[in-house]
């Protein structure tokens, strides 16, 4: 596992929901001169996806090298076929990740874009409409999906570009090597990178060298927390190490607040409920967000450490999927993200240990059964590698 390497002098801009993210993304694509890499789990051909697709095609028409990776499972087979046709027709290079599970169950769950090695975007937002759930049924949402991305300017963009380039080359083989060499011959070097105050690092999860990098980043932050830790995640089903990390921090006096998205998948909610009693007895404050779909995967510790990314706190994200988070050490950024989380916490419903005193036995049995089923499924998916 490679160490987490921080770079200085980055400008990190927090983007809340699609209302801030998609205009910034499209503006960067429209300003591209040389090259775009974009990778996403879901690329829907709805009004949002068509706007992004049109921007990519416009860039390709200007002679920009545009390279797009979408996940086969997340985007769906029929939509992947149609998207592939539209992108290729517009001069965009497109690759579908792990079609028909030819590489096992792994998925690319990352959401990254790099433009001209000058600006990068990373976070939890897919390319899809904010007011429709990604539950597979296009369920309308009462409010825009609660999610985040970041815009990155500075030296970290080079690292993110290298990660994207390597992934693209892995999917396209030696054919890209020739095209890349031709591209490098015409691309001006020495692009000026905008500087900012933040220390930041790219933290990825893959099935080779970086199997537990994101989990260890969370554990290290929780282990060094002194005052507070605010964490938000939609699919809460972590292994024992992360659950113990939360409980241990709370027991030593850290104010730990866990904001969990509920209401999308009934079995996922039941698994999360199976963990609540121990966390609550340890002093962890658990809050359920029910206003709309919570999709953000974010955390702030002591207003000094913050993360935004694609990694959920479940076995698929932590053990199977390819994921990408950014870790930021900058007090202004951390305070901005904290304000957003605290606002959502104030809109949520706090769970108390007393709530479990009157839970019917059959509900408790359902929580336990859901957890056992989850463990069995995860063991099968990971070929027995999943352990508590």
Active-site residue identified among 94, 161, 167, 297? 297
Question: Known catalytic residue: 297?
Answer: yes
Catalytic hit among 295, 314, 329, 330: 295
CB 73 within 8 A of CB 100: no
Q: Are 157 and 122 in contact (CB under 8 A)?
A: no
- φ, ψ (nearest 5 deg) of residue 69: -120, 130
**Residue 387: left if φ>0, alpha if ψ -120 to 50, beta else—which one?**
beta
In DSSP terms, 16 is beta-bridged to 148
The H or E element spanning position 62 is none
**CA-based angle 386:387:388, to the nearest 5?**
135
What phi, psi does 361 have (nearest 5°)?
Answer: -60, -35
Contact yes or no for 22/51 (Cβ under 8 A): yes
Residue 227 falls in the annotated catalytic set: no
Residue 11 bears catalytic tag: no
- 8 A C-beta contact, residue 286 and residue 233: no
Known catalytic membership, residue 355: no
End-to-end CA, the chain: 20
Of the residues 11, 94, 109, 273, only one is catalytic, namely 109
CA distance 360 to 63: 64
Catalytic-residue membership of 111: yes
Q: Coil, strand or helix: which one is 35?
A: strand
**From 71, 116, 269, 330, the catalytic residue:** 116
Pairing of strands 255-261, 228-233: parallel
**Rounded distance between C-alpha atoms, residue 383 and residue 381, angstroms:** 6
Give the DSSP letter of residue 126: -
Catalytic residue among 53, 111, 161, 167: 111
How would DSSP label each residue in 285-307? Answer: EEEEE-SS-B--EEEEETTTEEE
Answer yes or no: 302 catalytic.
yes
What beta strand segments (E) does the chain contain? 7-16, 35-40, 65-71, 93-97, 102-105, 112-115, 119-123, 148-153, 198-205, 228-233, 255-261, 285-289, 297-301, 305-309, 323-329, 349-351
Residue of 46, 206, 302, 303 marked active site: 302
Active site residues: 109, 111, 116, 295, 297, 302
């Amino acid at each position: 596992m490679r160490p987490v390497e921080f770079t200085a002098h980055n400008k990190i801009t927090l983007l809340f929901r699609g209302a801030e993210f998609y205009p910034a993304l499209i503006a960067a694509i429209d300003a591209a001169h040389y090259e775009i890499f974009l990778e996403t789990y879901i690329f829907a051909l709805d009004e949002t996806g068509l706007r992004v697709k049109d921007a990519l095609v416009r860039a390709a028409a200007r002679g920009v090298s545009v390279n797009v990776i979408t996940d086969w499972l997340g985007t769906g087979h029929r939509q992947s076929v149609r998207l592939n046709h539209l992108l290729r027709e517009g001069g965009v290079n497109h690759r579908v990740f792990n079609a028909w599970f030819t590489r096992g169950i792994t998925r690319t769950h990352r959401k990254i874009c790099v433009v001209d090695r000058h600006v990068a975007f990373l976070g939890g937002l897919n390319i899809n409409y904010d007011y429709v759930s990604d539950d597979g049924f296009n369920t309308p949402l009462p409010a825009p999906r609660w999610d985040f991305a970041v815009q990155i300017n500075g030296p970290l963009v080079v690292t993110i570009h290298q990660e994207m380039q390597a992934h693209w080359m892995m999917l396209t083989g030696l054919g890209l090597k020739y095209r890349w060499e031709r591209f490098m011959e015409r691309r001006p070097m020495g692009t000026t990178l905008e500087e900012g105050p933040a220390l930041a690092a790219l933290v990825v999860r893959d099935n080779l060298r970086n199997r537990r990098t994101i989990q260890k980043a969370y554990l290290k932050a929780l282990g060094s927390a002194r005052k507070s830790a605010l964490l938000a995640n939609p699919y809460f089903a972590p292994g024992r190490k992360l659950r113990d990390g939360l409980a241990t921090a709370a027991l030593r006096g850290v104010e730990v607040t866990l904001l969990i998205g509920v209401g999308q998948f009934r079995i996922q909610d039941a698994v999360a409920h199976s963990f609540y009693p121990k966390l609550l007895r340890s002093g962890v404050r658990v809050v359920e967000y029910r206003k709309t779909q919570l999709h953000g995967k974010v955390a702030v510790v002591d207003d000094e450490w913050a993360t935004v990314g694609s990694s959920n706190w479940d076995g698929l994200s932590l053990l199977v999927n390819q994921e990408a988070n950014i870790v930021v050490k900058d007090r202004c950024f951390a305070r901005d993200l904290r304000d957003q989380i605290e606002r959502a916490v104030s809109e949520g419903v706090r769970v108390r240990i007393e709530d479990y005193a009157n839970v019917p036995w059959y509900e408790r049995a359902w929580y336990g059964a859901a957890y056992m089923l989850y463990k069995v499924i995860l063991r099968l998916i990971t070929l027995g590698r999943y352990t508590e």
